[in-house]
Structure 1
Amino acid sequence: MTYCVGMVLDRGLVFMSDTRTNAGVDNISTFRKMTSWEVPSDRVLTLMSAGNLATTQAVVSLLDERTKARELRDPSILGAPSMFQVARMVADTLREVIEEHAEGGQRADSTFHATLILGGQIAGSPPRMFMIYPEGNFIEAGKDTPFFQIGETKYGRPILVRAYEPDMSFEDAVKLLLVSFDSTVKANLTVGLPFDYHLYEVDSFRLGRQGRIAADDPYYEAISRGWGDALRDALHSLPSFRL
């Protein structure tokens, strides 16, 4: 299982993903699920993936290879004129990989399914974020849906819905995401640390702050412990039910 969140803020875009892959209780590994591309002064793209690991790695590899090819019939994701066109290319590549491996064509419930979050900015346009489905279609984040989750979404969603604010700082956004991820880790052992993150500043057109948060990270430990204590205190402060 996987948990990834992409969030649109006034300040820019925030990405966070876990790194656990699970093929059974005795086969748990760590793989990076976030990939970024940069063309300085022109564009920054970040892709996160959930689903079949072979599928998602093949998608990333194909996208990467096509950015390096000297002769292309169509522009690569590093030459596309808009984020919408980039989303179409990524969606087509995902569908291509799934159809190649699934007998009888691509199916959403196929063993080879995957879901992606794509976000970034191309010069001349505002930052945009998309969620791309196994079928090859996609939706875009907006004011009514300012963040996307993929993978194990249900445990970490309540805090995002209650606490997200578009004008929050990157620092508060990371804090919020760590609470969301910690809630998910506590409820589902197939999601685990370390967590990767990328903070993209609007109109910077360069990779932003990136890092990895390990299980022994002091700040993460403080967030995890503090959130648990805060929930208990909040519960005790509520009026008791009268029998």
Structure 2
Amino acid sequence: MPATRNVCRALPHISTTVNRMSELLERDGVRGHLHRPTGDAVAGLVLTHGAGSDCDTKLLRAVAEGFADRGVAVLRFDLPFRQRRASGPPHPSKAAEDREGVSAAVAVMRELVSVPVWAGGHSYGGRQASMLAAEHAGLVDALLLLSYPLHPPAKPEKLRTEHLPGLRTPAVVVHGSKDPFATPDEMRSALELIPAPTTLVELEGARHDLAPEKFPVVERAVTAMLDLL
């Protein structure tokens, strides 16, 4: 299996509302913020949130702006469970609907760009994106998984790895060394299950939120993803 590494065109006009650095977008059941790069896009990224937040977190805003600065069109969006209610975690029985939400966002991005399209998210959002990619090979060209929730805190026996052997999409995984959802060694072992090329970006001292104001999560994530082009 592949080893884990450590380490276009202008967008057409769509109906949106401008809000400083991004544009509010509501289309085909997708609700979020579109970040347009200056000039032609080299890739498109759909990016979503974790179980306890929405698409307007500090991390997602920072990542979206960082990618847009490097020529990537970014759509950060709310999953269906968050569109239904403003707070509270997703229900496990509705996870398939959240994956459908990721798929819908990918479809919107495919309409906006004719370059590679990536999908990803923070924690729960990244997990759902990776499960979708395992179910539908070729749906996206690469994955960006921020703080993948390998297991619940203090429950390392409850691994969330069932779909990883079926994942044939290249992935960049950004992980903090103090993340309670996985130790660095646990994460490295899990990524060995993936037959596609993977890049593990380790942030020494970072926790699950990745704290973009303290750690170079944006710079390192952008560099690792652009290396896939």
TM-score w.r.t. structure 2 length? 0.31
Higher Rg = 1
TM-score between both structures, scaled by the size of structure 1: 0.30
